[in-house]
Amino acid sequence: MKNERILLASPHMSDQGYEKEYVKEAFDTNWIAPLGANVDGFEKELAEFVSVGHAAALVSGTSAIHMALKAADVGSGDIVICQSLTFSATANPIIYQNAIPVFVDSNLETWNMDPMALRKALEKYPNAKAVVVVHLYGLAAQLDEIMEICSEFGVTLIEDAAESLGTTYKGKYTGTFGKYGIFSFNGNKIITTSGGGMLVSEDEERIAKVRFWSTQARDKARHYQHSEVGYNYRMSNIVAGIGRGQLKVLTNRITKKRNIHEFYKRELAELPQISFMPENDWSESNFWLSSILLDGVDPNYLMDELDKANIESRPIWKPMHLQPVFEKYDYIGGNVAQTLFETGVCLPSDTKMTDKELYRVTNTIKRVLSNEK
C-alpha cells in the first residue's frame, strides 16, 4: 500500500472551528458580498497583530502589491527596483503599472535583497520610484541597511511579506518597516483564506484611497459615477471570516513551522551535502518553507527521489532576471540568486505533518544522499 502523499504546504483549518463560526455568522446575516463585519474585523485584527496603523483586505497578495505601487504613485515609465529571487507575483504588478523593473541580486546572509546591489541600482537609476524587497520563505531581509539606502535616495520602500507573516526583525514584524507592506493568505501560506491578501501602512489616507480604488473607484453619488479607474480587488466577507478564524491560531502555526525547521536541522545534520537556510541573531523567522542547499548533488535528482516516495518538494524560486518574460530588463548584482536557485530544495513544511511523516522525509533524504557520498 502506497504511503499517503506528504505535501509541501497546504491549508490547515483550526481544530476549534473558529473559521466556521465567522463564516456561519456571515451566512446567518446573509452578508455574503464583499465588505461587511468580517472584512472590517480582519483588517483591524491583522493590523493589531503586526502593530501597524491601517490595513486594507484584498483578493490576493498580488493585488496588494499592485495597490502599493499605485499608492506610491508608480506610473508609466517609472523605475522600480525589485528583488530578483522571488515569485513572479512580486514583479508582475510593476508591469501592470506600465513601469520598468530593475532586478537586483540577493546575498547569502539572508537570501534576500543585497543592500550593496541595491545601492548600485539606485546609483544607476537615482530617480527610481519604489523598491520592492521580499522576505523569502520567511527570512527577513537586512532592513536597516535597505531602509537607510531608500531614505538616502528618497525612494518608497514596499515590503513583500507574503511569506513572512509572523517573522520579526529586531523584535518588530516584517511588513511594517516600509511605507507599505503586503501579506498573502493563499492556500499554501502560514494562514490562509483560500485566497486573499492585505496591504498595511501607517498612512491612513493612502489606505483609504486603496479601499476606494479596490472597490471600482466608485464616487460618492446616487448613480454609478467614476472619476478614476478602479479595480475589483476587495476581499469578500466570507473569505475574511476564514481569515479571522485563522488569525487565532497564527502563533501556533509559527511555532509548528519553527519546530519543523529544527527537526530537519537535527535529523539531517550528519549529511555533508546539505546546508540550511541562514539564521541571524537579529531576526526570528516563521520558516514558512524549510529549505536546504545541496553541494555536489543535483536538486532535481533528490526531488525526483522524494516524489517516488510520494513526498512533495520544490526548487527554490527561479530568479526573475532569468525568466523569459523579464529577460529584457536590467539586472544588477552577481550570481547569488542563480546559485540558490540551482542548488536549493524546499522541503515539506506542512503544519499538519506528524513526527512519523517528518521521519519519512528525513529517512528518504538520508537513503538517497547516502548513495551520493
Residues carrying an active site annotation: 189
Q: Are strands 291-294 and 274-276 parallel, antiparallel or unpaired?
A: antiparallel
In the block, residue with C-alpha cell 513544511: 349
Characterise 69 by phi-psi region: left (phi > 0), alpha (psi -120 to 50), beta (else).
alpha
* Residue position matching grid coordinates 522571488: 86
Cell of residue 131, nine digits: 523598491
8 A C-beta contact, residue 197 and residue 61: yes
Sign of CA dihedral 179, 201, 183, 136: positive
Q: Which helix (H) or strand (E) holds 132?
A: strand 130-134
Q: Would you call 63 helix, strand, or coil by DSSP? A: helix
Most distant CA atoms of the chain, gap in Å: 73
Residue 195 backbone phi and psi in degrees, to 5: -160, 145
Could you tell me which residues come within 8 angstroms of residue 231 by beta carbon, excluding any fewer than 6 positions away? Answer: 63, 66, 67, 213, 214, 216, 217
CA 344 – CA 313 distance, rounded (Å)? 11
Q: Are 123 and 332 in contact (CB under 8 A)?
A: no
Q: Where are the beta strands (DSSP E) in 290-354?
A: 291-294, 314-315, 331-332, 344-346
